[in-house]
Each structure stands twice: as structure tokens, then as C-alpha cells.
Amino acid sequence: MADVTELGYLGIGVKDMEAWKKFAGEVVGMQVVDEGEGDRFYLRMDYNHHRIVVHDSGEDDLIYSGWRVAGPQELAEMKQQLTDHGTEFTVGSPAECQERRVLDLIKFTDPGGNPTEVYHGPQVDTHSPFHPNRPTHGKFTTEGEGIGHMILRQPNPPAAIEFYTKVFGMRGTVEYKLPMPGAPDGLAQPMFLHCNGRDHSLAFGFPMDKRINHLMIEVDNLNDVGNTHDLVRQSGTPVAIQLGAHANDQMFSFYFGNPSGWLFEYGFGARKSTHQSEYYIKDTYGHQPEATGFGMDLEL
């Protein structure tokens, strides 16, 4: 059985390309790369050609996620695992592989209807060191752990947990029971899944309008959380969840709105996956809600 090894890339569709360039470069501290295609630009976080493709397609939502496998053997095994599960896939054409800057890929939808890709062999540009559009103290933490984590819309969480554990080989379960008026039993019971040393690369079980609620990106220097927090405040960017520490990954983080109206979580200092389940009823400290309307109106 082949397992996915990291959440490797995302494609997002946006309405305001210029606002996204400014936000990603000047507030978040990514590297904005425009190769002149006109309908897209790229966001870099490390040596990879890109981690995010920003498409001028107007959805203001996630349009695809790319999960990495180790190599061609694993991609072949993943095809068999999808077939055994009854999930139909298409094989990426050479043009599609070139567009994604990978050696090979397959495309399908996950049980929540989210367009999903599995690939191997990303283009790594060691000749072009990561160069953020604004000064940073440190770097994004991506080595062996991928882009970060995302919260995906899953109308049927049991079907999603079955897919991501049995087909993708990820591990995880419910990690919080949080009071939420309107939820079954008045409780939100989100699930968190890992596939490498990152505590979770995927979570779901929150009620959501968009496909994605937030993308968490991690930095290796605490000063970058403080500095980014200053830039978020100075730019009038809404903060949906204030600075605080999560109980599960023990990360110090905060959440702010992006120009598409979903959230970035920006954090430092997460512990590694423990590979054993436990659950929490509250976060360690902080993480108070502030700006509403981002689908994270719950008491952590």
C-alpha cells in the first residue's frame, strides 16, 4: 500500500489578482512569481517551483489540492487503491503534468466533491533560492511536511475519514469536542489527519460554505509570527482568531482573512505527530474569536 507523503500544492481561484499579489508578498511574506501567462501567477515558499497557483478564475475558493507520493511505483499503487475504493480518476496528460510542474499526476474528486490530485516528482528550483517579497527572519517550514494544513469541506465526515485513511494511508480521528450551537448534540467534533511529521495536514468536520476554511502555514522563527501580526494589523486585514496556542499540535498561531474571504493560519512551534489519538475540549490559551463571517465562529 502506498501512502501520501505531504500536502504538496494548491490551486486557488481568485477574483482580485492584484490584491492577492500584494497580500501574499507584502503581508504573508511569500515569493510572488509571475511568468507572464496572464491567467495565473505562482506563490513560492521554498525551493519548489511553487506551492500555490493563483488562477484568475473568480471562485474565491480552493480549486484543487495536490498530494505527493514518493515516486512512480507509489503512484501506480495509489491508482489501484482508488480503483479498489471505487473512485474514478483520470491520468494527467504531458501538458497537464508540465502545467503543474510534476513528473506525473492523476486527478479525481474526494468524497466531499473536492477536486484532488496525487502526483510525484515536483520541479525543485535549487538554482533559484526562495526570496520572499518582504524581509523575514526565518523560513517557511515545509521540509518533509509539505505546504502546511488545510480545513476542507466534507458534508459526510465518516466517508471522508474512510477515504483519507484507507485510500491515502493517513492517520487520525476526532481531536476536539467543542460547544457549537446548531451542531448535532451541540458539539463540533472536527477530525485531524497526518501523513508525515506535521501534526495534521488535513482537518474537516466544521460546517463550511467554501471548499476551504483555512490554510495553515508555519514559520521557523517566532519573530515572523509577531512581525506578520503587526503587518496584518497595520494593513487592516481582519483577524478571525487571535493569537493563541492549539491543544493538539501545540502551535502558536493566529488566523486572518485573505482577499478571497477565507483564512490563512500563520503559526510557529508545532509539535510533531504523536501517532496516538487524544482529544481536547479547549485550546491551551488565547485563540479568542474576533472578526466573524469566516466560518470559524466557535470557542476554541
Position 246 contacts ligand MBD (CB under 6 A): yes
Which segment (8-16, 86-94, 131-139, 261-269) binds Fe ion by CB under 5 A? 261-269
Nearer to Fe ion, 112 or 122 (CB): 112
Per-residue contact track with ligand MBD, 177 to 216, x per CB under 6 A? ---------------------------------------x
Do the beta carbons of residue 252 and residue 171 sit within 8 Å? no
Number of amino acids touching Fe ion (CB under 5 A): 2
Nearer to ligand MBD, 3 or 265 (CB): 265
Residue from 176, 158, 151 nearest 278 by CA? 176
DSSP summary character for residue 236:
T
**Residue 168 beta carbon to ligand MBD: minimum distance, rounded to whole angstroms:** 19
* Dihedral angle sign, alpha carbons of residues 61, 23, 259, 209: positive
Residue of the chain from 216, 217, 239, 240 that contacts Fe ion (CB under 5 A): 216
Determine the Cα–Cα distance for residues 260 and 298; give it in Å rounded to an integer. Answer: 21
Which of Fe ion, ligand MBD, none interacts with 248 (beta carbon under 5 to 8 A by kind)? ligand MBD
DSSP summary character for residue 144:
T
Do the beta carbons of residue 81 and residue 118 sit within 8 Å? no
Nearer to ligand MBD, 104 or 249 (CB): 249
User: Is 66 exposed, middle or buried (CB count within 10 Å of its CB: 0-12, 13-18, 19+)?
Assistant: buried
The binding site for Fe ion (CB under 5 A) comprises 216, 265
The binding site for ligand MBD (CB under 6 A) comprises 216, 246, 248-249, 265
